[in-house]
Amino acid sequence: MSYLDDFYSQYDEDARLISRHGQVEYLTTRKYIKECLAGLFDPSILEVGAGTGRYSVTLAKEGYSVTAIELVEHNLELLRAKLDGTERIKTMQGNALDLSVLSNDSFDLTLVLGPMYHLYTKEDKLRALSEAIRVTKPGGHILVAYCMNEPTIIQYVFKAGSKNLEHVLDDGLLTPDWHCISEPKEVFELARTEDIADLDAAFAVERLKLVATDGATNYMKDCVDEMDDKTFAKWLEFHFATCERKDLIGASHHTLDILKKRVDRPGTNYPLLLEQAKALAEASQDPISLMANLSALLFQELKEINWAGFYLVKNGALLLGPFQGKVACVKIEKGKGVCGTAWAKDEVQLVSDVHAFPGHIACDSASRSEIVLPIHRANEVVAVLDIDSPLLARFDERDQVGLLGLVELLEKSFANDRFEG
């Protein structure tokens, strides 16, 4: 992380946010922070990547209870120097990728206004978001700021002179469709609106708004800096009136993604599901027909899943059985992937992030979490039930217990059948 230390120890972040053009982004972010806090009694606020405290310190001085986490020591020193000891603020050095010092469901509002500028892989961005969402209360808000791709190309690559154009071309920092390829030495990671939507899709959150926090301001920095008070007030008025327009958002240098953590985890009424499954089992004692109907029932009744089905043990491997969802791999060796592991270990596999599971077999690239339960006949595994979700950590022990009821039903069907594995 030393490149960040180097960058921020020579960079006047406060001056950027205090300049007239910098104020547009700051005041816009403040406006939406206040919208999220409206009506809450003594809300608790977390800022991950608090920088020099422009937001955290201001909120703490307004009386809010704030926890400020910042990675760069130099920034943290500047932040702490602004405090007089009367504020309700906890400050700590820490990394957005690991908030394990904080408990689940703790904050009404979580601000992630800097980290996405400096995380260069999708995995890291998902981890930072996952941590921010985890520590936010259900129903609470998560505000995430991004630097945008096209405005940076216009400003940095073309407007700032030919040296930068040569640099990005020579160093291969652009994809053929002009998405900047950032890396730590370039400091800023850049997003497109679809990249942001793609990150959000992995979580149980609702996107309330994606806001253009500076709109056209940075294209005309000097002009904005020179505005008199009346003109600047009108500029802000124009900006606030247009900053939620979807047709302008990708053209803003900075955006603010406003997310709300869902109150309910996707809940399933397992007792009802079991009753429905029993009715299906009565209709057909044949395990294949029953599995076909159970996969349809699960696919229909479980929220936020993208695949539900069975693999059957056949000739020493798992063979694709009845399922619902996208086409899937046909054969899985014992011990391979999540399914093969559930079979080899004869254990339920509850995988909150399939990308972190060694050897996970990706049938649908949208899958982010998975649960696999072994199905037995006379103590031998004869099949597995596999369910995938596009959300991280979609399944928990409640699903495991509920699905075991269905597995037991199927096991009875297998016990009564002469099915040969």
Among 195, 388, 399, 411, interactor with ligand SME by CB under 6 A: 388
Closest residue to ligand SME: CB criterion: 337
Asked if 348 touches ligand SME (CB under 6 A), the answer is no
Q: Return d(Cα 99, Cα 142) in angstroms, integer.
A: 15
Q: Which residue number, 153 or 339, has a Cβ lying nearer to ligand SME?
A: 339
**CB-side neighbour CA atoms (13 Å) of 205:** 31
Short-list 385, 376, 418, CA closest to 311: 385
Instruction: Report how many residues bind ligand SME under the rule CB under 6 A.
Output: 15
User: Between residue 238 and residue 297, which ones bind ligand SME under the rule CB under 6 A?
Assistant: none
Among 254, 360, 368, 394, interactor with ligand SME by CB under 6 A: 360
Specify the pairing of strand 317-325 against strand 307-314: antiparallel
Which among 27-35, 80-88, 361-369, 396-404 is the span making contact with ligand SME, rule CB under 6 A? 361-369
Minimum Å distance from CB 313 to ligand SME?
A: 14
Minimum Å distance from CB 127 to ligand SME?
A: 21
Asked if 361 touches ligand SME (CB under 6 A), the answer is yes
Whether residue 2 contacts residue 11, with contact meaning beta carbons closer than 8 Å, is answered with no
Is the sign of the CA dihedral 274, 276, 282, 288 positive or negative?
negative
Minimum Å distance from CB 326 to ligand SME?
A: 8
Whether residue 151 contacts residue 159, with contact meaning beta carbons closer than 8 Å, is answered with no
Minimum Å distance from CB 362 to ligand SME?
A: 6
DSSP letter for each residue of 220-285: GHHHHHT--HHHHHHHHHHHHHHTT-TTTGGGSSEEEEEEEE-SS-----HHHHHHHHHHHHHH--
Q: Fill in the amino acid letter for 95.
A: N
Neighbours of 411 (CB within 10 A): 19
Element (H, E) at 152: helix 149-152
Minimum Å distance from CB 303 to ligand SME?
A: 18
Q: Which residue number, 258 or 363, has a Cβ lying nearer to ligand SME?
A: 363
Minimum Å distance from CB 301 to ligand SME?
A: 18
Minimum Å distance from CB 361 to ligand SME?
A: 4
Specify the pairing of strand 44-48 against strand 190-191: unpaired
User: Between residue 76 and residue 105, which ones bind ligand SME under the rule CB under 6 A?
Assistant: none
Asked if 383 touches ligand SME (CB under 6 A), the answer is no
User: Between residue 301 and residue 340, which ones bind ligand SME under the rule CB under 6 A?
Assistant: 307, 328-329, 332, 337-340
Minimum Å distance from CB 332 to ligand SME?
A: 6
Which among 156-164, 170-178, 252-260, 363-371 is the span making contact with ligand SME, rule CB under 6 A? 363-371
Question: Between the CA of residue 4 and those of 155, 183, 188, 189, 244, what are the distances in Å?
Answer: 22, 12, 10, 13, 31
What's the angle, vertex CA 98, arms to CA 94 and CA 103, rounded to 5? 95
Whole-angstrom distance between the N-terminal and C-terminal Cα of the chain? 54
Q: Which residue number, 184 or 359, has a Cβ lying nearer to ligand SME?
A: 359
Among 25, 195, 370, 411, interactor with ligand SME by CB under 6 A: 370
Tell me which residues touch ligand SME (CB under 6 A). 307, 328-329, 332, 337-340, 360-361, 363, 367, 370, 386, 388
